[in-house]
Chains A and B, each alone.
Chain A
Amino acid sequence: MAELPLFPTTVVGSWPRPPWLLDALRKRQAGLLSYREFQEVADRAVLEALHYQEDAGIDIVSDGEQRRDNFYSFVTEKLDGVRLMTLAEMLDYAEDKTFLDQTLRQLDAPSYAIKNPTVVDRIRPRMPLAVDEALFLLKHTHKLVKVPLPGPYLLTRSMWVKGISDRIYPTQEDLARDVVALLRDEIVRLRDAGVFFVQLDEPVLTEVAFRPPVRVRTFMCASLAAATESPVRELAWATALINQVVGGIEGVKVGVHVCRGNWTTNEGVLLVGDYRSLLDFLTVMKVHQWVLELATPRAGELSAFAPYRRAKEVGMGVVNPRTAEIEAPERIVARVWEALDYFDASQVYLNPDCGFGTFAERPVNTPEVAFQKLQAMVEAARILRRRFGVAAPRDRVPAQGTISPEEVFPADAARLVREEGAVLVDVREPWERELVRIPGASAIPKSEVPARLGEIPTDRPVVVYCMVGERSAEVARWLRSQGRPRAFNLAGGLVAWMTARLPVEP
């Protein structure tokens, strides 16, 4: 297996399909080609996509998702119990038809052209989701391999349609159980096959986070909409599902990919928002890497990561897959340099913001332009390696500076607990604690602290914490004003605690 240099270069997954592959795909969808016949055509397309990546010098390659119609509905062919239904077929079941009509207008598409994998029976694997893809790719490359999989939240949200799926799975949670088991199994098999990197695609998370809350809303194609009464609950649920899928699996790198839509080259209609509202959740996910859009200005400023320093690896989006111009390697280098305020050099991978052909019929670029963009990335990685040495990460992340006397670093907090019997108090909301917490900590949400002051002991140090240390700083100050001089805030919060590899549960 290849040794990875510093700043490894990779892709998010998809590559524009050649016209003859699209032709075969349409024939396959019309039932004119058998599964086998289509796979033989796709084999050739995979090799083409692979050669583009290898020629560009990419370190971790994908198969370009050439066998898939798009990044998630391809599961229809692999699973029993799932049927590709058009929106026209589903319109009768939609809870918010006005929303669907508006979305169609925005897409400039008719309802019969939008298809969604829909659960119509108990889901059972007919064949592996991606192991077949991986085995072919591994046979034809010496590079490390990345395999993208649709994430558990995306699959559950998109495939469960009220009025259709609820006869089999009364609630989305019921379907999620089977989806989680399926994906978990698949990741283990991909690892055993020799896959280096499994990427869970969860593009709808941005939509959940950025969309103002609305009452009831049926999804459309999951890439287009997911709305909910409480974005925060929904994101917590998505996080829990991801953790159920990946928790405890070792021996394979797992990443989660989040983006803001990749179905059009018109940047004006794609989502806008930075990572602030997502980072609490991304941090809690038991994945190694965030694969993020950071090239498009719509993704906001890198400073959003300041409270989450070194929490995870980042697959930095450094080229925009939808534009014609090729990014200058020097500009990519400058952007990575900026990111090194928040990530260690050893944590940074370079990739495009998203795939080049997320939807087979709607590629966002040509293979020629995509190839040049990969080359620019690879050149940027070379420049960075010259500065940093090939594999010797030099820590540019500033040491955690000075802190006020009311604060303690995670290691000191752990020592206070161990040696002085300090009490840890979690001041976050109950749903946050369900996702992750420090073992043995007591729980008093910030708003209840004044009323429950009596529960906080006075005979020993108290360390209060929240996610990033902002809410708890207020609590610590307030406790001191109430005559508790040994109340401390956990500097950097749970994020810093986890980054220091101190124990959390579950």
Chain B
Amino acid sequence: MTDTKELNGLDLEQMVRLVEQVQSDPAAAQPLNTWAARVRWLGGFRGEALIRDHTFVIDEPADLVGKDTAPNAVEYVLGALGACLTVGFVLNATKRGVAVRHFEIALQGAIDNILTFLGLSEEGHPGYREVSVDAYVDADADDALLQEIWQETVRTSPVGNTLARQVAVRPRLVRA
């Protein structure tokens, strides 16, 4: 294991190089600070996100008048949080030399009051009030170390922080 250059499917040398580069030249991290997406309407409740060279569809389930061809936006939030925590866990485990065999997260979000989204109520808000995150890991490390990796992952998760803190959203509408 000691002479291998790969752990958890990650190129260790490349990881070390990235860390060194960012440490010596903080400006090099600048591109990692900004992320962008473009979403265009496809008709009905369907939308398509264009992100760099990737696209994906967003829809609504049939009982919300959608065509159920894809997950909806609030589900993508759960997916994004789960993916973010997965990346973080694997990163933090790899940094400590822990080989991860399996990792899986089950998320569930409770909307505070969906009626406010439909304009049928003034009480509460239409966002998630609470998101439960159950992570399962199978790895060669003791429980304390795995807990430590998990705590660090949660603490440093970009999406986790986005959800847990107030984000200044700057909306603008343009006729075009």
Interface residues of chain A, those whose CB is within 8 Å of chain B, are: 88, 101, 104-105, 108-113
Contact = CB atoms under 8 A, between A and B. Distances in A.
B106 A112 contact: no
B134 A112 contact: no
Interface in B88-131: 102, 104, 106, 108
Interface string B131-170: 0001010100000000000000000000000000000000
Contact of A104 (B102, B106, B138): B106
Nearest to A111: B104
Q: How large is the interface on B (under 10, 10 to 19, 20 to 34, 35 or more residues)?
A: under 10
B116 to A, nearest CB: 26
15 contacts: A88-B102, A101-B106, A104-B106, A105-B108, A108-B134, A109-B136, A110-B102, A110-B104, A110-B106, A110-B136, A111-B104, A112-B138, A113-B102, A113-B136, A113-B138
Contacts of B102: 88, 110, 112-113
A262 B106 CA distance: 24
Nearest to A109: B136
A104 B105 CA distance: 11
Contacts of A109: 136
Contacts of B106: 101, 104-105, 110
Nearest to B101: A112
A111 B136 CA distance: 10
A255 B104 CA distance: 40
Contacts of B108: 105
Nearest to B134: A108
A121 B73 CA distance: 42
Given A112-B136, A113-B102, 18 more contacts: A88-B102, A88-B104, A101-B106, A104-B106, A105-B106, A105-B108, A108-B134, A109-B136, A110-B102, A110-B104, A110-B106, A110-B136, A111-B104, A112-B102, A112-B104, A112-B138, A113-B136, A113-B138
Interface string B61-94: 0000000000000000000000000000000000
- Smallest CB-CB A-B distances: 4 pairs: A110-B136, A110-B104, A112-B102, A105-B106
A111 B138 CA distance: 12
Max chain B Cβ within 10 angstroms of own Cβ: one of A104, A110, A112: A110
A104 B134 CA distance: 11
A400 to B, nearest CB: 54
A111 B108 CA distance: 16
B65 to A, nearest CB: 19
Nearest to B136: A110
